Structure 1
Amino acid sequence: MKARIHVVGSPEVDAWLDKNVSFSDVKKRYDIIYEEQDFMVLLYHPVTISFDPNVIKHVVQCCIASEINFVVIKCNNGTNYETILKEYMQFKHNPHFRYLPSLRFEYFVSLIKHSNGLIGNSRNGVRETPVLGISSLNNGNRQQNRSTEARSIIHIPDHREMPAATLKVMKNIPRVEPVTEFGSSACAARFGEFIRKCDLSAIYTQK
């Protein structure tokens, strides 16, 4: 059966490594005043089983105390999301924060590419940012057993071990060598090549 499995990579990686839209277009469309690599992205989602409201409270307080510019993206609407949005209200009228309820995928990719890094508990911080060599801070256990050992990732399982000083350090971490654990570019080309060469009539197991 192994002979029938062909690893071509992830189409998402192709999208992340593409040129996408320019950062100036992102700024214009979403009214972002920060310059390239002068902000970080906060993307924190609710944890259904072991949600602790003190975690997001601490994360928000650290972001404010750091005095770093942040583009904050609304969390998904899973259980307990209201608690996260309530804490985000502290960002209101603070010039260091730009809150976005949503944004188009290609604009999101460009936003991450031109940031100083991503913090939170999103899969983007353990799967996509390593492809770009951009630093990320993975907080909590939402990505447990899904993360990579890429040098660009800072794992902080316990939120109490994340001071504002850590964010200030992250802002100045240089880009590192990209990690292709989840695939490299040209996935679509490899998939197309496989389809052209594959003889499905020779496979007896059908559905």
Structure 2
Amino acid sequence: MFTIRRICVFTGSRADYGSLVPVMTALRDDADVDLKLLVAGGHLVPAQGYTLDQVTKDGFVADEVVDMVLANDTPNAVAKSFGLGAIGFADALERLDPDLLVLLGDRYEALAVAVCAMLRLLPVAHLAGGDVTEGSTDDPVRHAITKMSHVHFTASEDMRRRVIQLGEHPDTVFNTGAPTIDSVVNAPLIGRDAWASIYGRELTEPTIVVTYHPVTANPDASHEGLVALLDALEHFPDAAVVFTGTNVDQGGNSLAKLIDDYVANHPRQAILVPSLGKLPYLSLIHHANVVVGNSSSGLTETPALHTATVNIGSRQEGRPRAESVIDCGETAADVRAAIDRALSVELQERAQHAQSPYGDGKATNRIVEVLKKVDLDSLVPKRFFDLPTAFSASGDAEA
């Protein structure tokens, strides 16, 4: 007898929400699926734009909401926020009682809900596993979520290989591409003039978008890198500069203060929009000449929108790059030189032909097809998948 599958999608911040929207939309509109939505984390933080409102505006119902983020941004406070999240998620999953939990990425909010799902033997489908970000604490979080998940959707074949390397059975690991690229390919982008009228800032030439987040593996580098970036921007007085808000991570408050001060001191040049929403953000990137910072969006969506990227520091180290991405150090001279190069005719033309290494824009259908048809009973309990090559206890390959 056929039964409708109850699928719960978790979103903990704007960082995962934009990528999940295509999948959530397809699940919501599918008659064979009962979509439930669990919202938490940065979505409920006013400084992040209180993006729960955007979730509702996009036509989704937040079936459960967990307020978990403490006001402080110290490591101790983040750890306590994790604990609050776990308590709230345990109760939320008990009430929702889904057949399958879907989550994306590598943040501590997602780790907390994955732990709760594991303890109740709830199958988990994980998007964006197998990625590498050596300059942040995301790597161990991402890999931990992988080990608590049962179905995996990766953005590339290399990432699929890494998930299998972690002991996941190849039959449960699907290279679908990243659904965030689907958003780029299908987005009805807002025109330059319309964007300017909404946000009160003309996108003159050049337009520089700044998206900068804490480097969680090295908080001191976060401060140094942003100071260098702000110093470098002084050499582009004719540029329109649009800042987006920082993530809810340790050290985020001090970075936000630096950005607030810069915008206050450069009112004719710079604006800060804490949370744009997916479509306005993609439209802004499309109209910009360069995206500068250390966000993953500079490596994923930005190349697909044919805009140049200046990636600062080590936060995204290990991720694949399109030919339109320029990596640079964390000094003002490094950042200034990289922006100059990104604004050159050569790089601007190269960006027009760049392709994102994160997929072909057709990930959503592949993902939803698996979510609807996968045999859930076969997923729990999990078994470890050993690679074909055996190794001795000493670490030497056996003959």
Scaled to the shorter chain, the TM-score interval is: 0.7 to 0.9
Q: Which residue, 246, 249, 263 being the options, matches 1:91?
A: 263
- Return closer, same or farther for 1:206/1:129 CA change in 2, 3 Å cut-off: same
Q: Quickly say closer, same or farther: Cα 1:158–1:101, change in 2 above 3 A.
A: closer
CA contact (8 A) 1:117 1:171 kept: yes
* Alignment match, 1:66: 236
Query: Contact 1:66/1:167 (CA < 8 Å) preserved in 2?
Result: no
Q: Which runs of 5+ in 1 are unaligned?
A: none
Equivalent residue letter for 2:217: I
- Alignment partner of 1:27 is 2:196: yes
2:292 counterpart (94, 119, 134)? 119
Residues 46 and 79, structure 1, Cα contact 8 Å, conserved in 2: yes
**Structure-1 separation of matches of 2:263 and 2:248:** 19
Q: TM-score, normalised by structure 2?
A: 0.46
For the 8 Å contact 1:136–1:154, the answer to whether it is kept is: yes
The residue type equivalent to 1:14 in the other structure is D
* SS of residue matched to 2:361: coil
Change in Cα spacing, 1:78 to 1:195, as seen in structure 2 (3 Å) is: closer
Distance 1:6 1:90 in 2: 44
Matched-pair contact (CA < 8 Å) for 1:66–1:168: no
Question: What SS is found at the alignment partner of 1:66?
Answer: coil
Instruction: Identify the structure with bigger relative contact order (alpha carbons < 8 Å, sequence gap 6+).
Output: 1
Q: Bigger radius of gyration, 1 or 2?
A: 2
How many residues align? The count is 202
Alpha-carbon distance in 1 for matches of 2:228, 2:172:
49
Asked whether the 8 Å contact 1:127–1:148 carries over to 2, the reply is no
Structure 1 residue 51: Cα displacement = 1.9
Contact residue 203 and residue 288 of structure 2 kept, 8 A: no
The answer to whether structure 1 residue 170 and structure 2 residue 342 are counterparts is: yes
- Does residue 131 of the first structure (1) align with residue 304 of the second (2)? yes
1:65-116 deviations in whole A, cap 9, x for unaligned? 2222211112113221222223221232421212212211111111111111
| Aligned-pair identity (%) | 20
In structure 2, the partner of 1:140 is 313
How far has the Cα of 1:47 moved from its partner?
Answer: 1.5
One of 237, 243, 247 as aligned partner of 1:76: 247
TM-score (norm 1): 0.83
| Unpaired stretches in structure 2, ≥5 consecutive residues | 1-168, 381-399
Q: Is 1:186 aligned to 2:186, yes or no?
A: no
Going by fraction, where is strand more abundant, 1 or 2? 2
Q: Please tell me the root mean square deviation across aligned C-alpha atoms, in Å.
A: 2.5
